[in-house]
Structures are given as C-alpha cells and as structure tokens.
Amino acid sequence: MLQRLPRVLPSLAGAPIDTFLLALFTVVALAAVFPAGATFADVLSVATKIAVALLFLLYGVRLSPI
C-alpha cells in the first residue's frame, strides 16, 4: 500500500476535483460510516471548541491596529 501511494497522489493532480475537496468528502464519508462514540464525541467536542477559539485568537493577534 505504501509503495502505491506515491503513484496515486500525482494521478490526483490531473483530476477535475480539488484534492482538498476530495479529502473533505472522504473524511465526511468515513465519519458517516464510523461515527464517534459517546465519550470520544464529548472529548472531540471540547477539542473542536478549543481549536476554533485558538484559530480566532491567532487570527485576531495577526490583525494590525488601525
């Protein structure tokens, strides 16, 4: 599998769909097939809120004062 991976990625470069969108659709499909359990979902919820807060904080710090 690992030997085949380098050949797959260049072949996706010519695809009409963006590789980011392909990865996003793949993750959504995996989440639909394998949903998170109750405990893991709670931990993931907190981690997501922290990540979003950190993202907004870092973006705000980068802004220049007027």
**What are 8-63's pLDDT values in tens digits?**
666 666 667 788 899 999 999 999 999 888 898 999 999 999 999 999 998 888 87
Decide if 7 contacts 1 (C-beta within 8 A): no
Q: Give which of 10, 12, 11 is closest to 20, Cα–Cα.
A: 12
In this structure, the chain runs to a length of: 66
- 42 and 13: one domain? no
- 28 and 41: one domain? no
- 2 and 29: one domain? yes
pLDDT at 45: 93
Residue 19 tokens read as 């590789």
- 23 and 44: one domain? no
- 6 and 29: one domain? yes
DSSP state of 37: -
Q: For residues 20 and 6, give the distance between their C-alpha atoms in angstroms, rounded to a whole number.
A: 17
- 30 and 8: one domain? yes
- 23 and 51: one domain? no
